[in-house]
Structure formats: structure tokens, C-alpha cells
Amino acid sequence: MNIRMLKKGDLILFLGVGLIIVLLLLWNNLSTASGNHLIAEVRKDGELVKKIDLDKVSEPEHIYFEEGIHQTILVEKGRIRFLESDCRDKICVQAGWLTKAGDKAVCMPAKTIIKINGESQQTDSIAF
């Protein structure tokens, strides 16, 4: 039996996983709030630590986590990021600036997550 050839099951697997990828991307696109008023949320261990209106940040601000894995989060007008982290892989820092609604950065070892929610400022205009 030639095991190097791709078989029927492989093709079904490819198509199945491909379909799931497309559906998830569509779902993500549709479910992200499109508002341009950016609210950032910082959560640690599932608890909300800080909620920041990114449009109202005038001076750069740091958020420090001193317990367990040391981390620094930097907030500027319209954007937020993990600046430093003592975790091993630094995936959170590599994620860079979060600038638009739906953006997320997580640090699994520290159980920290930053996410940006988009809210539209003039919701009453579409209420009817």
C-alpha cells in the first residue's frame, strides 16, 4: 500500500477544516462591532482590571502587574499594547499595538488579556 498518496479521507478532512476556517472568519467579521469609539478592556484571571476609553487618553499611561509574572501594558491615544512581560514566549508583546475594534492580545502564562470593543457613539440615530 502506498502511504505517500493522499487518500479520500484526507480530502474530506481538508475540505472540512477549510469550510470551518471560512465559516469562522465570516462569523468573526460579522460579530465584531463596527463602532469607531474604542473601549479597551484589560482582564486578568477572568476579572476586569481596567476599562479604558482609548479616545480620551491624553498622556501615555502604564499599567503594571507586579504579582506573579511581571507585565507592563502601555496605553496611548487610540491604541494599547503589552510593552513588557516576563513570560517565556512573549507572544503578548509580539502581538504589538491593538488599534481597532475586535483586536485582542493574550498572555496565557499570566492569564492576562487585552481586547478592544468598538462602540458607536451615536446609537440613537439607528434606534428607529
Partner 1 sequence: MNKNKKIAVIIILVCNAILISLLELIIPIPIPVPGVKLGLANIITLIAIVFLDLKDVLAIVLLRCLVVATLSKGLMMLLFSISGGISSALVMWLLYKKMFGLFSIKGISIAGAVVHNTVQIIIASYILKEPIVFYYLPILLISAIVTGLITGSISDLTIKEIRKREIFSDSV
Question: What are the residues binding partner 1 (CB under 8 A)?
Answer: 3-10, 13-14, 17, 20-21, 24-25, 27-28, 31, 43, 45-46, 88, 91-92, 94-96, 102, 104-106, 108-109, 111, 113, 115
Nearest approach, Cβ of residue 125 and partner 1 (Å): 29
Contact 100, 18 (CB under 8 A): no
Q: Which is nearer to partner 1, 42 or 54 (CB)?
A: 42
Nearest approach, Cβ of residue 9 and partner 1 (Å): 3
In the chain, alpha helices (H): 8-31, 91-94
Beta carbons within 8 Å of 79's beta carbon, 6+ residues apart: 54, 97, 98, 99
d(CA 124, CA 105): 31
Q: Which is nearer to partner 1, 25 or 56 (CB)?
A: 25
Q: The C-alpha cell of 15 is what?
A: 475540505
Q: Give the residue from 28, 36, 31 showing the smallest Cα distance to 119.
A: 36
Q: Which is nearer to partner 1, 96 or 123 (CB)?
A: 96
Nearest approach, Cβ of residue 32 and partner 1 (Å): 9
Nearest approach, Cβ of residue 42 and partner 1 (Å): 12
Q: Which is nearer to partner 1, 88 or 127 (CB)?
A: 88
Q: The C-alpha cell of 118 is what?
A: 468598538
